[in-house]
Amino acid sequence: MFCEDCGAALPENANVKFCPDCGAPRAIIAQKPQQIQQIQPVWQPPPVSKPAGSKKISGALIALLVAVPVLVLVSGGLLIYFLAFRGGPDTIRLPAILPDVSYTYQSKKPEAVIEFTTVDEVFPSNYRSLESLAVFTGYCDYGTLDVLIEVEVPGFTQSYKQKITLGRQVTKLRILPPLVTGNIGLNSEKMAQLVYSVTDTESGKLLVQESKTIKLYSRYDIVWGDETNIDAYTDNILAWMTIDVPEIVELKRDAIEYLSDITGGRLEMLVGYQDLGIFDNIYVNTWVQAVAIQGAISDIAKVRYNNSLFSMDAQQRVLLPADVLRTRSGICVETSLLMAAALQSMGMHCMLLFPPGHAQVALEAWPGTGDYFLIETTILPMAADEDTWNRAVMLMDKDEWLGYITGEGSYTLGLCYIVDCDLAVKLGIRAMTAALLVLCQKEVKAQIGPKPRTYVRLPQIWGIYPASAAKPVMKRCSMAANSARVALPLGSNTFPGLP
């Protein structure tokens, strides 16, 4: 038995009055009805419920909200029109043409912004190696300004003056005033004033006027280098090459007398690299002049070697050649400078050598040869014998010279720092003469007096003097009257490396 409504099977129990599936009153059919296909309904979103109390805005209200601002604007425009053009004399009228717009910054005057940075200490010997004594930095707001910059250390430098125009672009100047041309006393360090100012050239108003205390070291002080390079300022030693001072001229006169003595009057002038045909080997021409200068320093000027500490690792006090002759004493670098100054004044090519802890002079044997004489200027006093002369002025050929300066040769003191004396002009290093020297010729003569003219008996090494002579005969004769060459026996003990 089956339900008449849903077709479900009904229980056999007759007491069941309803269909267990659909709940319909029991209606029995003999067979199962055909299954009815159910169609799934399409899903639709649930209806949105409106909040309680909401109302629909009417079109009239929207029109009112739009019309009110429009009416306000139109009314305001009409009011302004009638007040400006239709009102009485007491009404406010707007100008027909608007005035030019002005800005506050356009009415301001030019205003300079200026800054100076300066050094704290100055070494006179290193002065020309300085980048600047003072650095000017400045610009101008609200226009341009013409100014005059002035910087000076009174008594040490000349006044530096320069006119520039300041604008919005920053201007930076590194200022190094030239040294004074008069005499200044720098025998010891002292404090000085660095004065700088900036003036408005149009109004004459001082914009900046200040001074700063700086420390000036003495003219004898040199700094060889800095933290990054121990040889950074070593070339400044060329400032001690005072070749034109009266003391060097006097030393060369003494050297001529010594030269005449050791050549028997055959060579009575310092000829430099001129070959007068006196010697078979032109190197002898150079060697004998260097020996004569060293002999004059030793026996006539009476200079003695001062075995004091010499170091290139720190600040060093170095006497000028004139002061070495005046005090008759010098350390290795001072006697080397004295020798180099004399040779340089003769037009000869020399260099200063700085092996570790020492200083020497190298003299080119002849221009363009590459052979050099190594001059040991600390042999003071210098004995008047052949061995001593050859130790004082020693010839080196190219290979020996290279091994010596690189520290790799059989005879060397270590790696050398070399300062070519011919580079002073190219490097812009001027000797400390007119600008920094205080001593004059009269003062020197007053302190040291006339030099004793004492000569030692020289050995008969060249066959020039008779064996019975008590001392060399001083002959004053011209080279034209003695045209015969002097044949010098050049053995291995005389010039190593010479044929």
pLDDT of residue 42: 58
Residues in the chain, how many? 499
Residue 6 φ then ψ, to 5° = -105, -10
Residue type, position 491, single letter = G
* Edge-to-edge strand list for the sheet holding 393-396: 393-396, 372-375, 360-364, 350-354, 417-420
Is the confidence at residue 31, as pLDDT, over 70?
no
Which of 444, 438, 421, 440 is CA-nearest to residue 218? 438
The confidence score (pLDDT) of residue 70 equals 82
Closest CA to 421 of 372, 459, 493: 372
Q: Which of 18-32, 227-241, 334-348 has the highest mean pLDDT?
A: 334-348
Q: What is the share, in percent, of the chain residues with pLDDT greater than 70?
A: 73
Beta bridge partners of 121: 215
Contacts of 322 (CB under 8 A, 6+ apart): 242, 245, 246, 247, 248, 437, 439, 444
Q: What is the dihedral of CA 305, 307, 311, 315, to 10 degrees?
A: -80
Note the pLDDT of residue 65.
79
Please say if the pLDDT value at position 20 is more than 80. Answer: no
Residue 215: pLDDT band by 50, 70, 90 thresholds?
very high
The confidence score (pLDDT) of residue 14 equals 65
282 φ, ψ (degrees, to nearest 5): -65, -20
- Strand 329-330 relative to strand 304-305: parallel, antiparallel, unpaired? parallel
- DSSP state string for 291-349: HHHHHIIIIIS--EE------SSS-EE---HHHHHHHTEE-HHHHHHHHHHHHHHTT--
Rounded Cα–Cα distance for residues 499 and 491 (Å): 8
Q: For the residues 255-259, what does the mean pLDDT come to? A: 95
Residue 105's pLDDT is 56
> pLDDT grade, residue 202 (50/70/90)?
very high
Distance (Å) of CA 274 to CA 141, 188, 366, 422: 67, 42, 10, 18
User: Mean pLDDT throughout 430-442?
Assistant: 46
Q: Which of 56-70, 304-318, 442-456 has the highest mean predicted lDDT (pLDDT)?
A: 304-318
Least confidently predicted of 201-210, 226-235, 293-302, 382-391: 226-235
Higher pLDDT, 320 or 85: 320
Cα(267)–Cα(260) distance, rounded to whole angstroms?
Answer: 6
Closest to 305 in 3D by CA, of 251, 391, 379: 379
pLDDT of 52 reads 55
Whether residue 413 is predicted with pLDDT greater than 50 in this model: the reply is yes
- Residue 170 backbone dihedrals phi, psi, to 5 degrees: -70, 130
Q: Give the per-residue pLDDT at 19.
A: 79
pLDDT over threshold 60, residue 61:
yes
More confident residue, 310 or 366: 366
Rounded to an integer, the average pLDDT of 330-355 is: 96
Residue 148 near residue 131 (C-beta atoms within 8 A): no
CB 142 within 8 Å of CB 109? yes
- Strand order of the sheet with strand 111-118? 111-118, 134-141, 171-175
Closest CA relative to residue 6, chosen from 15, 16, 14, 20: 20
Amino acid at 293: I
The string of pLDDT tens digits covering residues 89-118 is 555 555 556 566 666 656 788 999 999 999
Q: Cα separation of 44 and 315, whole Å?
A: 101
Query: Is residue 232 scored above 70 in pLDDT?
Result: yes
Short-list 132, 136, 119, CA closest to 208:
136
Q: For residue 478, is pLDDT > 50? A: no
Q: Which pTM was predicted?
A: 0.60
Both tokens assigned to 73: 């604007």
pLDDT category of residue 468 using cuts at 50, 70 and 90 = very low
Is there a contact between 286 and 373 (Cβ–Cβ < 8 Å)?
yes
- Whether the pLDDT of residue 342 is over 70: the answer is yes
CB 174 within 8 A of CB 130: no
Q: What is the pLDDT of residues 133-150, one digit of tens each?
A: 999 999 999 899 999 999
Q: What is the pLDDT of residues 34-56, one digit of tens each?
A: 554 555 555 666 665 555 555 55
How many helices, marked H, and strands, marked E, lie in the chain? Answer: 9, 19
Average confidence (pLDDT) over 473-497: 30
Q: What pLDDT does residue 449 have?
A: 36
Q: Which of 66-75, 159-168, 353-362, 429-438 has the lowest mean pLDDT?
A: 429-438
Number of Cβ atoms within 10 Å of the Cβ of 451: 16
Mean pLDDT for 281-288 is 95
Choice between 359 and 491, residue whose per-residue pLDDT is larger: 359
Q: How confident is the model at residue 374 (pLDDT cuts 50, 70, 90)?
A: very high
Nearest to 216 by CA among 100, 330, 119: 119
Residue 269: which of 252, 282, 284 has the closest Cα?
A: 252
**pLDDT score at 340:** 97
- What is residue 424's predicted lDDT score, i.e. its pLDDT? 85
pLDDT tens digit sequence for 170-196:
999 999 999 887 666 677 889 999 999
CB 219 within 8 A of CB 125: yes
Higher pLDDT, 456 or 174: 174
Q: Which residue has the higher pLDDT, 478 or 394?
A: 394
Q: Is residue 281's pLDDT more than 90?
A: yes
Q: Which residue has the higher pLDDT, 366 or 472?
A: 366
Q: What percent of the chain has pLDDT over 90?
A: 49
Q: Which residue has the higher pLDDT, 132 or 427?
A: 132
Q: What is the pLDDT, as a whole number, of residue 91? A: 52
**Helix 282-295 crosses helix 246-262 at what angle (to 10 degrees)?**
120
Q: Which of 56, 437, 4 is nearest to 241 (CA)?
A: 437
Residue the block writes with tokens 């002898």: 284
Position 24 scores a pLDDT of 72
pLDDT given at position 125: 75
Q: Kindly list the structural domains of the chain, giving each domain's residue range(s) and its CATH number in brackets, ordered by start.
A: 1-33 (no CATH), 112-218 (2.60.40.10), 234-482 (no CATH)
Report which DSSP code applies to 93.
Answer: -
Phi and psi at residue 345, to the nearest 5°:
-70, -15
Residue with tokens 């009269």: 442
pLDDT interval class at 30 (50, 70, 90): very low
Mean pLDDT of all residues belonging to the chain: 78
